[in-house]
């Protein structure tokens, strides 16, 4: 095919490498000298030291006596939490807006277009700060909470969600229910003898629903008590704002992916389905979307990765995710700038690698087989 | 919701169709409405739903932003209505646009802007004579603008970059980043396809490293980590460090865009070029890149829009770009509680800039497709 590079080029690349090594060496020597001047040493030993600060929002237990390594875990879970919430929301909304973009209804189509254009052309950070400072921080105090449908309360302290209290003896049931839901798509493809289980797999989520109903002892609805809200789970305003900012921004991008993927499904598929007498809605859900969903997997992967990386913007509104805790609090406490940046970057590289590996595997399984 | 392809636009389509179009009549309007809004029961319901939504959102917003808003006055006391207090924005406009750049030296800023428009416009236009000349001018522009804005030579008083801010800072950072990241990205894209193992592995590693980490970590690296790697006593301006971070980070993204274009150039082109005896660099510069770059202009424009939006992140490392200037102004005790005004203004300003850029990208793409359909 293309000619082999000349011998001179082969030599040149080694010269390039030597230069690279020399520059890196020089920089590292500088680092050593600078750290020595500050009486500090390079190393990750600080991760085993006691942290001694509080983390305002956490999914697992955290005390002042825990070590920095555990702070890494706590903040990583916060990052993953907001990313997972936003990915789920953005995917659903993106699907909706993407379909709206192709509606035959002029108003619906252009409403979606306007939304996509406005959101895509304003910085994500501005949106997140807007949600936090201009919306959530201007909400009324608990006494005048906004009452949302489904028993949700919204006020300046955040969003209050009804809490499901699990009976003491039945703590395993919700897990089993969760597993059943996860297993459903696999059961769908399961073959027993010659036949696939198919729609029978839908029995699983139904069983899961029954099981979780059994396990729930009572539903605690948040309500005003004195000056504060009692009952329910409090979602802090930082999390709500970051969630809104990340999901709405990603929705606009995902909508465009959905639109282009639907348009990429060969026209003949839709025409054939319509000519069989299927109604347009069924054509969409049974013929076009299943193919479009496969086409969009690689693009969605990069959107999801962008979203996970953007969750670091939570630092601007003090949501305790990994960047805010490490590049903020921990850096102030320890002064280990270089190590901390390396740790945070490494965490994101690992998330990136694992997530891409998973999505590539998934893509290989679902990709349309080209003839 | 129906997923059928959008109904064929009428000639004069869009809103033009709604108000009758150039040669419209009442019958056309009714026909348009029936086809686009009321073609079936579901469709009618959707139309009504959207109208209800618009009714709930649009009038209150207009009431807040325009009808009940205050623009006059010099203090917060002027804002008595329940609408927006644009007085605040009006009084801070200079900070939001160019930070604390000295008033006496503003002409330098405007000269730079005028030069930029004068150089960029001919390059962007479809039909231009001497496009090459203007591309060269645009390439030397950052140097020219740097001298003009920083000063300190040729009788121009020195203006510290600490005084730079507002939208001007976003634009400057973007411009420097594009000027640095595009050539670097092209080199990296070529490097990734190189047959030299060291070059290839370095390019892949470089690209994937920056694409794998959040921009914020890269900015923090420039802000707190880089000073530690410099020899004792040497310091680099904070703004320049941030610009370098932006350049490296975006070079990785540009490299991937350019690589897409390189893959779109038929292999025969390169083979033919080699067979007439051209060297590697001649093939790349005269044959492959001109074709590849033309394909990727829309992608590059997208990259530029993204990086322009990303410049707002410098707020977090303490530079007062548009968002940072707004943040600071909102903390002024005399003007508390105006977050809505501040961030709506910021969003709209960014939107105007980004939307015009992405529209240009789309227009270019259409032009490209037309050429392709017509030519070859």
* Residue ranges of E strands in chain B: none
Closest CA to B153 of B117, B101, B108, B111: B108
CB contact under 8 A, A288 and B343: no
What is the C-alpha separation between B293 and B261, in angstroms, rounded? Answer: 6
Provide the pLDDT for residue B11.
41
Q: Determine how many CB atoms are found less than 10 A away from the CB of residue A286.
A: 12
| Cβ–Cβ < 8 Å for A211, A177 | yes
Q: How many residues does chain B have?
A: 376
Say if the Cβ atoms of A5 and B310 lie within 8 Å: no
Residue B23 contacts by C-beta under 8 Å, 6 or more apart in sequence? B12
The burial class, CB within 10 Å (0-12 / 13-18 / 19+), for B266 is exposed
Mean pLDDT over all residues of chain A?
Answer: 86
How far is the CA of A344 from the CAs of A230, A340, B220, B264, B311, in angstroms? 37, 6, 11, 36, 21
- Count of alpha carbons within 13 Å of B343, Cβ hemisphere only? 19
Mean pLDDT over A87-116 rounds to: 92
Residues of chain A contacting residue B205, judged by C-beta atoms under 8 Å apart: none
Q: Which of A4, A129, A349, A354 to mutate to test the interface with B (most CBs of B within 10 A)?
A: A129
For residue A157, give both structure tokens.
């302290």
DSSP labels for B262-312?
HHTS-HHHHHHHHHTT--HHHHIIIIIHHHHHHHHHHHHHHHHHHHHHHGG
The pLDDT score that the predictor gives to residue A307 is 95
Which residues of chain B are within 8 Å of residue A290 when distances are taken between CB atoms?
none
**C-beta separation of A353 from A110 below 8 A:** no
> Six-digit token pair at A340?
């901390």
Mean pLDDT calculated for residue range A314-340:
89
Q: Which of residues 257-316 of A touch B (CB under 8 A)?
A: 262, 270, 280-281, 283-284, 288-289, 309-310, 312-313, 315-316
Q: Do A133 and B212 touch (CB under 8 A)?
A: no
Residue A228 forms contact with B (CB below 8 Å): no
**Candidate from B202, B214, B232 with C-beta closest to A310:** B214
List the domain boundaries for chain A: 68-139+238-366
pLDDT digits (tens, 9 = 90+) for B190-211: 999 888 888 999 999 999 999 9
Quote the CA–CA distance of A279 and A282 in Å, as a whole number: 5
Is the predicted pLDDT of residue A176 greater than 90, yes or no?
Answer: no
Query: CA separation (Å) from B28 to A38, A192, B124, B274?
Result: 79, 60, 38, 60
Element (H, E) at A152: strand A152-155
Ranges in chain B, pLDDT < 50: 1-22, 375-376
Question: Which among B270, B337, B342 has CB closest to A2?
Answer: B270
Contacting residues of B for A118, CB less than 8 Å apart: 351
Residue A193 structure tokens: 């003898």
Question: What was the pLDDT predicted at A185?
Answer: 76
Cα angle A230, A235, A237 (rounded to 5 degrees) comes to 115
**Within a 10 A sphere around the Cβ of A274, how many other Cβ atoms?**
15
Mean pLDDT, residues A142-162: 83
- Test B310 with A123 for CB contact under 8 angstroms: yes
Coil vs helix vs strand at A336: coil
The H-or-E segment that residue A37 falls in is helix A7-37
pLDDT beyond 90 at A22: yes
The two structure tokens encoding residue A36 = 């020595």
Lowest mean per-residue pLDDT among A71-85, A163-177, B217-231, B275-289 = A163-177
Pick from B228, B303, B316, B322 the residue to mutate for testing the A interface (most A CBs within 10 Å).
Answer: B228
Calculate how close chain B gets to A28, using CA atoms only, in Å.
7
Check CB contact of A27 with chain B, cutoff 8 Å: yes
| Three-state SS annotation for A188-256 | HHCEECCEECHHHHHHHHHHHHHHHHHHEEEEECCEEECCEEECCEEECHHHHHHHHHHHHHHHHHHHH
Residue A105 has φ and ψ, to the nearest 5°, of -80, 120
Find, in chain B, the residue whose alpha carbon is nearest to that of A283: B3
Task: Determine contact, residues A76/A322, Cβ cutoff 8 Å.
Answer: yes
Q: pLDDT at position A169, please?
A: 66
Q: Closest approach of chain A CAs to the CA of B155, in angstroms?
A: 37
Q: Is the dihedral of CA B273, B277, B281, B285 positive or negative?
A: negative
State how far Cα A89 lies from the chain centre: 9
Q: Closest residue of A to B205, CA-based? A: A349
The two structure tokens encoding residue B368: 């490209």
| pLDDT at res. B1 | 39
Using alpha carbons only, what angle is made at residue B185 by residues B181 and B187, rounded to the nearest 5 degrees?
Answer: 125
Query: Domain A68-139+238-366 in CATH: superfamily?
Result: MetI-like (1.10.3720.10)
The B residues from 312 to 331 touching A (CB cutoff 8 Å) are: 312-313, 315-316, 323, 327, 330
CB contact under 8 A, B1 and A99: yes
Does B140 reach chain A within 8 Å, measured CB to CB?
Answer: no
Measured CA to CA, the distance from residue A308 to residue A57 in angstroms comes to: 19
Of the candidates A31, A37, A313, which has its C-beta nearest B216's C-beta? A313
Name every residue whose Cβ is closer than 8 Å to that of residue A302 and which is 6 or more positions away in sequence: none
Residues A314, A249: contact at Cβ < 8 Å? no
* Minimum CA–CA partner of A3 in chain B: B274
Whether A53 has a pLDDT exceeding 90, the answer reads: no
SS3 A147: strand
CA distance A235 to A336: 32
Nearest CA in chain B to A354: B212
pTM over 0.80? The answer is: yes
Please state, in angstroms and rounded to a whole number, the distance separating the CA atoms of residues B179 and B247.
8
Cβ-contact B157, B151 below 8 angstroms: yes
Q: pLDDT for A26-41, tens place per residue?
A: 888 888 888 888 888 8
Please answer yes or no on whether A30 and B229 come within 8 Å at the CB atom.
yes
Q: What kind and span of H or E run contains A326? A: none
First to last CA, chain A: 26
**Cβ under 8 Å to A: B residues 27-56:** 36-37, 39, 43, 46-47, 50-51, 53-54
Each residue of B36-50: b (16+ CB within 10 Å) or e?
bbbbeeebeebbeeb
Q: Taking the domains of chain B in order of start, what are their residue ranges? A: 159-374
Q: Which of A362, A369, A368 is nearest to A295 (CA)?
A: A368
Q: A–B: how many Cβ contacts below 8 A?
A: 203
Quick one: CA torsion of B145, B146, B150, B155, rounded to 10 degrees? -70
Q: Which of B1, B37, B232 sits opposite A34 (nearest CB)?
A: B232
Provide the pairing of β-strand A146-148 with A152-155.
antiparallel
Provide CB contacts within 8 A for B290, sequence distance 6+.
Answer: none
d(CA A26, CA A355): 35
Residue B345: per-residue pLDDT: 93
Q: How far is A229 from chain B (nearest CA, A)?
A: 25
Q: CA angle A363-A365-A366, nearest 5°?
A: 70
Read off the pLDDT of each residue in A54-61 and give the average, rounded to a whole number. Answer: 84
For residues B210, B211, B216, B217, the Cα torsion angle rounded to the nearest 10 degrees is -50
Domain B159-374 belongs to what topology?
A: MetI-like fold (1.10.3720)
- Rounded to the nearest 5°, which phi and psi values hold at A164? -95, 115
Q: Which residue of A has its CA nearest to B7?
A: A104
Using N-to-C axis directions, what is the helix angle for A237-264 and A297-310, rounded to 10°?
A: 160
Mean pLDDT of A236-254: 94
User: A55, B254 in Cβ contact below 8 A?
Assistant: no
**Cβ-contact A137, A237 below 8 angstroms:** yes
Over residues A341-368, the pLDDT tens digits come to 999 999 999 999 999 899 888 888 877 6
């Amino acid at each position: 095919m293309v000619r082999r590079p000349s011998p001179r080029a082969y030599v040149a690349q080694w010269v390039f490498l030597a230069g690279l090594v020399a520059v890196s060496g020089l920089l590292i020597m500088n680092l050593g000298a600078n750290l020595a001047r500050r009486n500090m040493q390079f190393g990750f030993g600080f991760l085993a030291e006691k942290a001694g600060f509080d983390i305002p929002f956490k999914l697992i237990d955290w005390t002042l006596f825990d070590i920095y390594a555990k702070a890494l875990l706590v903040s990583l879970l916060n990052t993953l939490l907001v990313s997972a919430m936003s990915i789920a929301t953005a995917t659903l909304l993106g699907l909706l807006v993407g379909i709206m973009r192709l509606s035959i209804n002029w108003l619906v189509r252009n409403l979606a277009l306007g939304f996509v254009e406005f959101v895509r052309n304003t910085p994500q950070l501005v949106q997140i700060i807007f949600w936090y400072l201009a919306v959530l921080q201007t909400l009324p105090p608990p006494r005048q909470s906004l009452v949302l449908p489904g028993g949700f309360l919204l006020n300046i302290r955040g969003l209050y969600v009804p809490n499901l209290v699990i009976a003491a003896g039945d703590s395993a049931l919700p897990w089993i229910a969760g597993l059943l839901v996860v297993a459903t798509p696999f059961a769908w493809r399961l073959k027993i003898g010659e036949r696939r289980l198919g729609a029978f797999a839908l029995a699983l989520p139904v069983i899961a629903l029954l099981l979780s109903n059994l396990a729930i002892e009572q539903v605690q609805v948040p309500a005003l008590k004195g000056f504060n809200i009692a009952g329910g789970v409090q979602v802090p305003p930082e999390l709500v704002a970051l969630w809104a900012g990340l999901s709405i921004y990603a929705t606009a991008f995902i909508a465009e992916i959905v639109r282009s993927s639907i348009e990429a499904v060969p026209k003949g598929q839709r025409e054939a389905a319509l000519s069989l007498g299927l109604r347009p809605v069924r054509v969409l859900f049974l013929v076009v979307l299943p193919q479009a969903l496969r086409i969009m997997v690689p693009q969605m992967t990069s959107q999801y990765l962008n979203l996970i990386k953007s969750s670091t913007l939570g630092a601007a509104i003090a949501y305790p995710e990994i960047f805010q805790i490490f590049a903020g609090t921990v850096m102030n406490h320890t002064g280990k700038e270089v190590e901390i940046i390396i740790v945070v970057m490494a965490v994101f590289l690992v998330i990136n690698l694992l997530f891409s590996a998973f999505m590539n595997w998934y893509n290989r399984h679902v990709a349309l087989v080209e003839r | 919701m129906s997923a059928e392809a959008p109904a064929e636009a009428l000639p004069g389509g869009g809103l033009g169709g709604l108000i009758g179009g150039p040669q419209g009549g009442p019958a056309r309007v009714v026909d348009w409405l029936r086809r686009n809004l009321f073609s079936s029961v579901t469709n009618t319901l959707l139309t009504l739903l959207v109208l209800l939504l618009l009714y709930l959102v649009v009038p209150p917003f207009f009431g807040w932003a325009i009808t009940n808003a205050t623009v006059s006055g010099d203090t917060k006391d002027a804002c008595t209505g329940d609408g927006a207090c644009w007085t605040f924005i009006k009084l801070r406009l200079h900070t939001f646009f160019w930070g604390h750049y000295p008033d006496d030296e503003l002409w330098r800023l405007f000269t730079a802007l005028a030069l930029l428009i004068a150089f960029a416009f001919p390059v962007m236009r479809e039909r231009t004579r001497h496009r090459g000349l203007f591309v060269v001018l645009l390439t030397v522009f950052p140097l020219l603008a740097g001298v003009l804005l920083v000063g300190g030579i040729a009788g121009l008083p020195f203006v510290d970059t600490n005084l730079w801010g507002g939208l001007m800072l976003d634009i400057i950072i973007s411009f420097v980043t594009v000027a640095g990241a595009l050539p670097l990205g092209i080199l990296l894209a070529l490097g990734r396809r190189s047959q030299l193992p060291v070059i290839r592995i370095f390019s892949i590693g470089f690209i994937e490293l920056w694409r794998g980490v959040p921009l914020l970590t890269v900015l923090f690296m420039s802000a707190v980590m880089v000073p530690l790697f410099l020899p004792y006593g040497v310091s680099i301006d904070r703004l320049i460090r941030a610009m370098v971070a932006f350049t490296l980070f975006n070079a990785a993204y540009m490299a991937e865009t350019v690589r897409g274009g390189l893959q779109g150039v038929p292999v025969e082109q390169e083979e033919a070029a080699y067979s007439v005896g051209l060297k590697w660099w001649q093939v790349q510069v005269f044959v492959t890149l001109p074709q590849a770059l033309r394909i990727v202009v829309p992608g590059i424009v997208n990259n530029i829009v993204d990086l322009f939006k990303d410049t707002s992140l410098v707020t977090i490392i303490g530079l007062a770009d548009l968002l940072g200037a707004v943040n600071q102004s909102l903390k002024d005790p005399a003007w508390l509680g105006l977050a809505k005004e501040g961030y709506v203004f910021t969003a709209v300003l960014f939107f105007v800039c980004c939307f015009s850029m992405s529209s240009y990208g789309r227009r270019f793409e259409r032009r490209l497709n037309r050429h392709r359909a017509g030519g070859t």
